[in-house]
Amino acid sequence: MKFLFLVIPLFLISSSSTTKFVFEGELFCYKPDFSYSVQIIEKSQPSKTIISEVKGTSKLHDKHFEIEGVAETNGTDTPHHDIDIDVIHNCYPDGNFSTISHHVGEFHIEAEVIKQFIKFDLNDKMYPEIVKE
């Protein structure tokens, strides 16, 4: 019976942690009218997981976006969050949707809040510009 009492507390002890990601930035498109979706992606899970998404349309060439998401861990996951931002848009002249994926980085699970400002030129497939605060 002592064994049972020793095992139960081990199941009750769980180290969970959350990390909040706050991203804002600008989307630039040569077309004055485009649709977009900005997603925060957690890649360190067995498969990619969308932890937050904002969608919209813009009638202007520039669109400011803000997105927040929370990644959780239960103590059994990898010791970091591997985060991407995907921007799905139809900025090209043919109107077809395309995706720009930006690797934000790997963040230790004990990080509380991660903030970053990013500029995306949707017509240029080069890496987005990271603005340091």
**Residue 52 in domain:** yes
Confidence bin at 47 (pLDDT 50/70/90): confident
- Per the structure, the count of domains in the chain is 1
Q: Kindly report the CATH number assigned to the domain that includes residue 71.
A: 2.60.40.3330
**Domain presence at residue 2:** no
With respect to residue 114, please indicate whether it lies within any of the assigned structural domains. Answer: yes
Neighbours of 86 (CB within 10 A): 16
pLDDT of residue 15 exceeding 80: no
The domain in which residue 83 lies consists of 18-131
Among 132, 124, 127, 119, smallest CA distance to 62 is for: 119
Q: What pLDDT sits at residue 81?
A: 86
The phi and psi torsions of 112 (rounded to 5 degrees) equal: -90, -50
What mean pLDDT is predicted for residues 90-96? 87
Residue 1: inside a domain, yes or no? Answer: no
Domain assignment present for 7: no
Q: Is residue 4 part of a domain?
A: no
